[in-house]
Amino acid sequence: MRRKVTISERSFPLATPFRIARGTKTAADVVQVMIAEGDAVGRGEGVPYPRYGESVAGAVAAIAAVRGAIEDGVGRTELATIMPAGAARNAVDCALWDLDARLAGQSVAALIGQAAPGRMATALTIGLDRPDAMAAAAARLAHVPLLKVKVDAGDPEAQLRAVRAAAPGPRLIVDPNESWTMAVLDRMQGVLADCRVDLLEQPLPADADGALAGYAGSVPVAADEALHGLDDLDRVAGRYGVVNIKLDKTGGLTAALALAAAARGRGLGVMTGCMICSSLSIAPALHIAAGSAFVDLDGPFWLRADMAGGASDADGMLVPPVAGFWGDAAPAEGA
């Protein structure tokens, strides 16, 4: 039976601006795909990221260019041969996973051969701001298990110490979003140790991280912008101890599963991350997060309104979407 592909653009306003070293977001602009086959409909979402030269219009065009092949029955493995990795392929790949689960009358977890994802601790993000404002935000989240702190190169020590003083209990991930130099990294080593930071994410620009080879810092360093897929593993393995896997970078759940397995095989820790997105992006990522040392999937919690039936936050514990939302045989919830 021939499929039908529907491509749509959606913009989800944020409840509050999301600020990092690279800029500020006020909305999550996404591309969503529906693939119908008979009565079954699979859905997926991608978040085009300007840092990687992506745009919503470009992603829509990329999906439209292969619409005929998808409607003719291209599967997840073949998809990687006709679309490059990125947000556009992620939306299609995840829609195919959802569709396959519904056609098979099984869950995606069952198709993968793992247990269904349950509640898990996720990082809640403290956006970049003045130290006093970051401390106020941290105080409101002092009871959660894990915080992610966005910093820049201006005064990261004051930012981080303010957060830790206001929230002494949670584990901390610190994310400079490529804004540091080696001089800042060296200067911050004592601060990272004093503040009991568990992970430092992508401190240096991805194209200038050679100095991390053999670097012995006070906390593990994770590759984010420096790692997209399997082709990057050889390069990052000698520079980072952890890899942040995002489906929008790998081009979908199919490639993310392969990357996670290969990273673990090399002795690297795995982190699962996301863009600012709806729960339609989060549901597939949970299948990577279930086996990750660090989970950072709070993207939907920044939205003024998420998709109906989506994930929810219970004091820093991510509650998966309702049955039928994505990746099982139940009828899909409405948006």
Positions marked active-site:
150, 246
With beta carbons less than 8 A apart as the criterion, state whether 252 and 209 touch. Answer: no
CA 163 vs CA 75, 170, 179: distances in Å: 46, 10, 19
Radius of gyration of the chain (CA): 19
Q: The tokens of 5 are what?
A: 């592909």
Residue with tokens 């996670």, as numbered in its chain: 260
Beta-strand relationship, 171-175 and 146-150: parallel
With beta carbons less than 8 A apart as the criterion, state whether 64 and 34 touch. Answer: no
Residue with tokens 């906390």, as numbered in its chain: 219
With beta carbons less than 8 A apart as the criterion, state whether 310 and 325 touch. Answer: yes
Calpha distance 250→273 (Å, rounded): 11
140 Cβ neighbours under 8 A, 6+ residues apart? none
For 120-150, b/e burial (b = at least 16 CB within 10 A) is bbbbbbbbbbebeebbebbeebeebebbbbb
Q: Work out the number of other CB atoms within 10 angstroms of the CB of residue 190.
A: 11
Half-sphere exposure of 62 (CA within 13 A, CB side): 24
With beta carbons less than 8 A apart as the criterion, state whether 40 and 102 touch. Answer: yes
Calpha distance 320→317 (Å, rounded): 10
